[in-house]
Amino acid sequence: MNNALNISSSPHVRDKRTTAYMMRVVLLALMPATVVGVCNYGLHALLVVLVSVAAAVLSEFAFDKLCHKPDTWKDGSAAVTGLLLALCLSPRVPLTMPLLGSMFAILIAKCCFGGLGKNFINPALAGRCFLLISFGNMMSSYRVVDGVTAATPVADLLVGNPVNVTRMFLGTTSGVIGSSALALLAGGLALWALQIIHGEICFSVLGTFILTIGLFGGQGFDPRFILAHISGGGVLMAAFFMATDYVTSPATPLGQLVYGLLIGSLGGIFRLFSGTADSFSYCVITGNLFVPLIDTYIVSKPYAYRKVSLLKQLRASGEPWYKRVPRPVIVLTAIAAIAGLALSGVYFMTKDTIDNQKRAAQAASYKAVCPLADHFEANETIDKAVADLNGAVYGTDFGRAHINEGFAALDEGGNNVGYALSVTSADGFDGNVTLAVGVDNEGAVTGISFTELNETPGMGMRVDEAEFKDQFVGKAVSKFTLNKAGGSTADDEIDSVSGASTTSGAVVNAVNAALDFYNNTVKGGA
């Protein structure tokens, strides 16, 4: 009997919670967001989730087998990565996206750096950013539940359009699969209450983000504005599920606060000044990169060596306060401040250049659509009408078309030879389609030219080919109609680019809006 006794170092009991348990809890906390996403966006969203999770787990399994590593796929961490990635994808992406993204996340970002506990950036975010950079078009196309293509609420927020916060909470807006703020909040708070994630991280990220948005967002601390910003663009996902990833966050509470501050403030700055809605992933990754530095410098002392609290230290007389703040805090704050200043500096320095280039491109396209014009002149009637529209959707028959601006076209002798109008349709397959439309004094289209077009190459992008554009030229009709079948003969019929009826429709709507504007405002008012 005695020979069989086990010998080991104390302690001889262990808590029931294992790595697999922790991962299961995180998976459960993500379930509300997943279920809401699938209900809102349908079967394809479910397929994206399943492919992503399966690809992540299988990648890890394959890596373990090929490299003769212990079976780590069983611990559930790969499944968490796969699910997190899926929830950050648009429900419209082709299934190759979750497949490639998960493979990159697990094989490159995680396994190649030593597997669980060794990766230096969050694998799910690495996968997402890999996809964002490599397949920008496919990644940033979103669709709302009722089947209409739309910009995400944050994109609307950034250009100043009103957004529906209630729908953002429920996740029924256009966006990623895991876009229900309510579901994410519920899961995140549950994880915090169960002490699975550190409150120091999630609340400092959210707090600093709110502060930055409130201070620099231009609308102060208006609750609806703040709430709209928090509810969209993956802020809650990042704060509760991404930034709190154990492996890529600091070990000490103070370090976690610094890390949260960094991510939150970067998130706010990126959100307001980068002009894209997807920037939070990059902020968290930037935060990840600071973790080794933070962990090297910020090490908490045992209780016996902590003399007094930081607050008391600051209040105590004697040395000036800045000498008693730990040096790493100063260094890191300085780095964050310099990085922030540099970013905003670059933005403001390049802003004019970018605007000038845009204007030059705009001018060139006006020339292109009014072949007879020598120069352009502002027109009071047009400017007034555009100002009256105040950025609202133009008319009722043209989808979501906006009239941006318009000029009178003059020949060398200063005689009016027509007008050039800039129109945007928000109904493109991948967001906005903006084009210049030239109209002569008889109301005939003299040409169209695209100034903003982000459609699918080989499909929607083909509206920029002469074959499609030339169909409008020389025709004086009050309204064009789209012929999806092709082979049009009538003047007012436009053949759709095959396989790209959405984009073609947006262009036709935009041109119709321009014609309507010309007939009712320019001509009627002139």
Partner 1 sequence: MVKHTFRGGVHPDGHKELSREVPLREFLPAGEMVFPLSQHIGKPAKPIVKKGDAVLVGQRIAEADGYVSAHIASSCSGVVKAVEKRLTLTGAMADCIVVENDGQFTCAEGFGEREEQASLSNDEILRRIQDAGVVGLGGAGFPTHVKLKPKDPAAIRYVIANGAECEPYLTCNDQLMRVKANEIVEGLELVLQLFPNAEGVIGIEDNKPVAIAAMKQAAHGKPRLRVMELQTKYPQGGERSLIQVIAGVDFPISMLPADVGCIVDNVGTLYAIQRAVLYREPLFSQCFTLTGEAAKNPGNFIVRDGTSFAELLEFAGGLKDGIALKKALVGGPMMGIALGSLDVPIQKQNNGLTLMIEDPVELAEAQMTACLRCGRCAKVCPVGLLPEPMADAAINKDYERYEKKLYGLECIQCGSCTYNCPAKRPLMQIFKEAKSEIQARKRAEAGGTK
Which residues are at the interface with partner 1 (CB under 8 A)?
A: 1-2, 4-15, 17-22, 72, 75, 115-118, 195-196, 198, 246-247, 249, 251-252, 295, 299-306
Give 87-123 as a 3 state SS string: HCCCCCCCCHHHHHHHHHHHHHHHHHHCCCCCCCCCH
Judged by beta carbon, residue 296 or residue 478, the one nearer partner 1 is 296
Q: Compute the radius of gyration of the chain from its Cα atoms.
A: 28
Distance between CA 135 and CA 429 in Å, rounded? 15
In angstroms, give the least distance from the CB of 117 to partner 1.
4
Judged by beta carbon, residue 305 or residue 322, the one nearer partner 1 is 305
Token duo for residue 324: 């008693």
Closest CA to 57 of 85, 88, 79: 79
What burial class does residue 286 get, using C-beta atoms within 10 Å of its C-beta: 0-12 exposed, 13-18 middle, 19+ buried? Answer: middle
In angstroms, give the least distance from the CB of 256 to partner 1.
9
Q: How far is CA 195 from the centre of its chain?
A: 29
Judged by beta carbon, residue 12 or residue 68, the one nearer partner 1 is 12
In angstroms, give the least distance from the CB of 269 to partner 1.
28
> 189: helix, coil or strand?
helix
> 498: helix, coil or strand?
coil
In angstroms, give the least distance from the CB of 498 to partner 1.
52
Judged by beta carbon, residue 26 or residue 239, the one nearer partner 1 is 26
Judged by beta carbon, residue 75 or residue 516, the one nearer partner 1 is 75
Residue identified by tokens 């599920």 is: 241
> 452: helix, coil or strand?
strand
Residue 379 makes CB contacts below 8 A (sequence gap 6+) with 406, 407, 408, 419, 522
In angstroms, give the least distance from the CB of 74 to partner 1.
9
Closest CA to 230 of 143, 167, 161, 169: 169
Judged by beta carbon, residue 15 or residue 442, the one nearer partner 1 is 15
> Per DSSP, what are the bridge partners of residue 425?
401, 433
Judged by beta carbon, residue 197 or residue 514, the one nearer partner 1 is 197
Judged by beta carbon, residue 19 or residue 276, the one nearer partner 1 is 19
Judged by beta carbon, residue 17 or residue 479, the one nearer partner 1 is 17
In angstroms, give the least distance from the CB of 299 to partner 1.
6
Strand 375-378 with 401-410, pairing: antiparallel
Q: How many CB atoms lie within 10 A of CB 499?
A: 13
Residue identified by tokens 């092709």 is: 486
**CA torsion through residues 139, 432, 267, 180, sign:** negative
Contact 64, 72 (CB under 8 A): yes
Token duo for residue 156: 């609307």
In angstroms, give the least distance from the CB of 129 to partner 1.
22
Long-range contacts of the stretch 521-526 (C-beta < 8 A, 24+): 521/381, 521/382, 521/385, 522/379, 522/381, 522/382, 522/406, 522/419, 522/439, 523/443, 525/381, 525/385, 526/381
In angstroms, give the least distance from the CB of 69 to partner 1.
10
In angstroms, give the least distance from the CB of 301 to partner 1.
6
Token duo for residue 339: 């990085």
In angstroms, give the least distance from the CB of 65 to partner 1.
17
Judged by beta carbon, residue 73 or residue 366, the one nearer partner 1 is 73
